[in-house]
A = this chain, B = another copy of it.
Amino acid sequence: MYVGVDLGGTNIAAGIVDEKGDLKYQKSIPTKAKRNPKEIINDIRDLVLDLIKEYGLLKDEVEAIGIGIPGLADEDGNVIFCVNLGWKNVPLAISLNKQLGIPIYIDNDATVAALAEYECGVMMGAESGILLTLGTGIGGGIILNGKVYSGYNGVGSEIGHMVVGNNFYDCNCGRNGCLETFSSSTAIIRYTEKLLKESKNKGLIYKRIHCDSEELNAKLIFDCAKMGDEIAQQAVKRLVKYLSLGIINLINILDPQIIALGGGVANAGKYLLDLVIEDVKKNQYYKELPIGKIVLARLGNEAGVIGAAMLGKQ
């Protein structure tokens, strides 16, 4: 059995996962991210111990613990950066291994989610695949030849920071035009706000948020677009345009067998998927040749825990 931990800015989720990737039992606790790393690491330790005990396992029966983090770790499991948690050079794997005596593996949360989709989701059996997690930002996970690919220095698969155009606001990373400033939930909210400010006829969406743009969210915008609201449709169209453009760039570079869309924005489901596929087909480079399949991710929120657990298996 494996344990997977999804260390997020808000919650820490952990689960017992078998070698097929089935999530057997899980629980979660609040991260309280402002505390110092040591306290959070102790909470992870206790959460894992509780989980093992409550599921009725012995510690020896856990082959490995994997942890997905919203940041970057090196091969030894040191967390190099974790912006949301304010971590820098935290020896997470060594600390936990010392306290638990179980091998610890750490990787980026988007990479881990891609691994989950590869082990038991929509990328199962694929030679190569890319998962785009369309959330408040855009994360990317790349699988090549059945293995997680993070590049020579471990700084690859940051697909959200591929520049694809010029935008009306800069990315958190300091550059302009990153994919995540066009096609994340934050991006579609900011663009819809801009449209609402600039337009006279504010339509359905303005009523639904009670004239308060603080109430805007991606789901609401997609719902209004489906109902024919013009501003919402314009915002969705722009998100789709740049997402398709990013996907075509990925095809032109890596040509993966599968491209999967996950994260909150992908909850718009088939409506979003059909628009993206149509746009990609219209604009792909080799129009007469086959390209990878574009699909919705399958595992949803559980991908973080399952994929983290699968790090141990890899």
Residues of A within 8 A of B (CB): 72, 80-81, 127-128, 140, 142, 144-145, 150-159, 161-166, 173-175, 177, 245, 248-257, 283, 285-286, 289-292
- For residue A281, give the distance in angstroms from its CB to the closest CB of chain B: 13
Closest to A258 in B: B152
Cβ–Cβ contact A285 & B155, under 8 A: yes
Cβ–Cβ contact B292 & A152, under 8 A: yes
- What is the CA–CA distance of A161 and B72 in the complex, to the nearest angstrom? 29
- What is the CA–CA distance of A142 and B290 in the complex, to the nearest angstrom? 20
- For residue A48, give the distance in angstroms from its CB to the closest CB of chain B: 29
Give the contacting residue for A255; candidates B150, B252, B291; CB below 8 A.
Answer: B150
Cβ–Cβ contact A253 & B254, under 8 A: yes
- For residue A272, give the distance in angstroms from its CB to the closest CB of chain B: 20
Cβ–Cβ contact B161 & A255, under 8 A: no
- For residue A95, give the distance in angstroms from its CB to the closest CB of chain B: 22
Cβ–Cβ contact B286 & A163, under 8 A: no
- What is the CA–CA distance of A177 and B283 in the complex, to the nearest angstrom? 13
- What is the CA–CA distance of A248 and B144 in the complex, to the nearest angstrom? 20
Supplied contacts A155-B251, A155-B285, 12 more A-B pairs, CB within 8 Å:
A151-B254, A151-B255, A152-B255, A155-B255, A156-B254, A157-B253, A158-B252, A158-B253, A159-B253, A161-B252, A165-B165, A174-B283
- What is the CA–CA distance of A128 and B254 in the complex, to the nearest angstrom? 13
Give the contacting residue for A163; candidates B142, B174, B248, B289; CB below 8 A.
Answer: B248
- What is the CA–CA distance of A173 and B150 in the complex, to the nearest angstrom? 30
Closest to A128 in B: B152
5 A-B residue contacts at CB 8 Å? A72-B289, A140-B253, A155-B251, A161-B285, A254-B254
- For residue A285, give the distance in angstroms from its CB to the closest CB of chain B: 5
Give the contacting residue for A156; candidates B152, B173, B255; CB below 8 A.
Answer: B255
Residues of B within 8 A of A248 (CB): 163, 175
* Contacts known (A166-B165, A283-B175, A292-B152); A159 close to B254, Cβ less than 8 A: no
Residues of B within 8 A of A174 (CB): 283
* Contacts known (A163-B164, A163-B245, A256-B151); A156 close to B251, Cβ less than 8 A: yes
